[in-house]
Amino acid sequence: MPHEVIMPALGMAQDTGKIVSWLKQSGDAVKAGDALFEVETDKATMEVESPADGFLTDVTAGDGDDVPVGYVIALISDTAEGSGTAAPAPAAETPASDDLPEGTGVIMPALGMAQDEGVIVAWHKAPGDAVASGDILFEVETDKATMEVEAGHEGFVAALLAEAGEAAPVGEVIAIISAEAPAKPVSRSWSGGAKPAPAPVKEQAKPAPSPKPSAEPVAKAAAPVATGGRILVSPKARRIALQEGLDLQRLVDAGHPQPYHVADLEVLRNLPDATAEPTPTTAATASRLLTAEVPAKAFADFCSWATEDTGAPVDRAALLARFAAASLGDPLAAIAVESHGQTRVMPEDAEPALTIRDLAGSPITSVNLGAEATPVLTLTGMGDTLTITLECAPGQLSAPHALSLIGGFAGRLAEPLRHLL
């Protein structure tokens, strides 16, 4: 099955990217990780890599073309012959509709090459609000990260075309920013169903059928409970919860509406003590414990090859930190690596999001220390097998995220060259 090559977003306010040049030609054989083309925005130029092994086919944009973020510009196919079904990437534009105000469209950004949709965690602006270009407009979550997205344009929020908690395809317009204050701002769900925007605050003196003021932020009023085990929470609130060891699942169990922000953490702190639960001790201290095993030779051989190739000893701790950050879904996350009685945090002076204990080669064969301030990945083993143990509290990582973290880290240690960016 062909893999899509999309125009990535190099910045949250980016609408389009310019193809500087193709580094591979249509029909060329490529490997996952091979540089396919160079893309340029107003802030950066970078190489875009192939998402899979195969042949480059169905190229729909050429050198110098400006392409909207999220659009498919080529395929990685099983054969060198193209499918002939790909259409040229259109220019980004606000969707034409009689019931939508005029303005500049804000699209669902692509946070990764394999991403085809993103979940809106929360809107930070309501229909009719004035916005500056650098204002945070909304938060988006993919299977790997949660990020804040700037408006990118100055004006007024004329329309919000998806609700908090909904998933929208990459590249689709999910908001409209107009130059003038809209007479009738629009708020609707992605599946359709237009609805009037919240009434301005000055009209709140009118009787309302609901006790909630209609000027309450759209994100709180419309957000459903997340499905599939995902807890919708802002990056700042998630970080504070990790630092304080707060279990966000307790807010879910209490029926508190998502998405969660910093103010909701005070609600969590004031929830009844766990002693009121049928099994207080278990509920309060339960932790996740996952293990995985990979051949020790693969990572050792890679370190030896890297040392010979560069002529300098490989920085094992830095490499482990890089693999862990990528597996966590945030390549910029700070990782603490404990080895031989010393601890390094990379980057320095940052608050670590995860800790690695490198005990490989020691007599210790397994660990079960319980949850700590951050999730902990421990490496043990002194033979042919390297054992990876992940320990964390439920409030630090959801079950799907914990599985994704240890699975991704194990995969990178088993095939380091393939996963090294």
Q: Give the ranges where 182-278 is alpha helix by DSSP (H).
A: 218-222, 235-244, 249-253, 262-269
pLDDT of res. 130: 93
The Cα 235–Cα 261 span in angstroms is 8
pLDDT of res. 366: 84
| CATH of range 288-419; options 3.40.190.10, 3.40.50.10420, 3.30.559.10, 3.40.50.20 | 3.30.559.10
| CATH of range 3-77; options 3.30.70.1230, 2.40.50.100, 3.40.50.1100, 2.10.210.10 | 2.40.50.100
The Cα 132–Cα 377 span in angstroms is 41
| CATH of range 104-200; options 3.90.1300.10, 2.40.50.100, 3.40.50.720, 1.10.1740.10 | 2.40.50.100
CA angle, residues 351, 398, 411, in degrees to nearest 5? 80
List, in sequence order, every residue forming a beta bridge with 19; answer none if it has no partner: 39
The Cα 140–Cα 168 span in angstroms is 10
pLDDT of res. 73: 85
Domain ranges of the chain: 3-77, 104-200, 235-285, 288-419
pLDDT of 2-30, one tens digit each?
A: 788 887 765 545 667 888 889 999 889 99
DSSP state of 116: -
The Cα 329–Cα 141 span in angstroms is 11
**CA 225, 227, 229, 235 torsion-angle sign:** negative
pLDDT of res. 270: 86
pLDDT of res. 274: 55
Place of tokens 């090559």: 5
Residues of the chain with pLDDT under 70: 1, 9-15, 41-44, 83-98, 110-116, 142-146, 192-230, 233-236, 239, 273-286, 418-421
Q: Given this chain, do its domains 3-77 and 288-419 carry the same CATH topology? A: no
The Cα 259–Cα 289 span in angstroms is 27
Place of tokens 């925005």: 41
pLDDT of res. 206: 39
User: Within 10 Å of residue 35's Cβ, how many Cβ atoms?
Assistant: 14
pLDDT of res. 253: 84
The Cα 316–Cα 321 span in angstroms is 9
Composition of the chain by helix, strand, coil, percent to 5: 20, 30, 50
> Which two structure tokens, joined as six digits, stand for 81?
């012959």
H-helix or E-strand spanning residue 418: helix 416-419
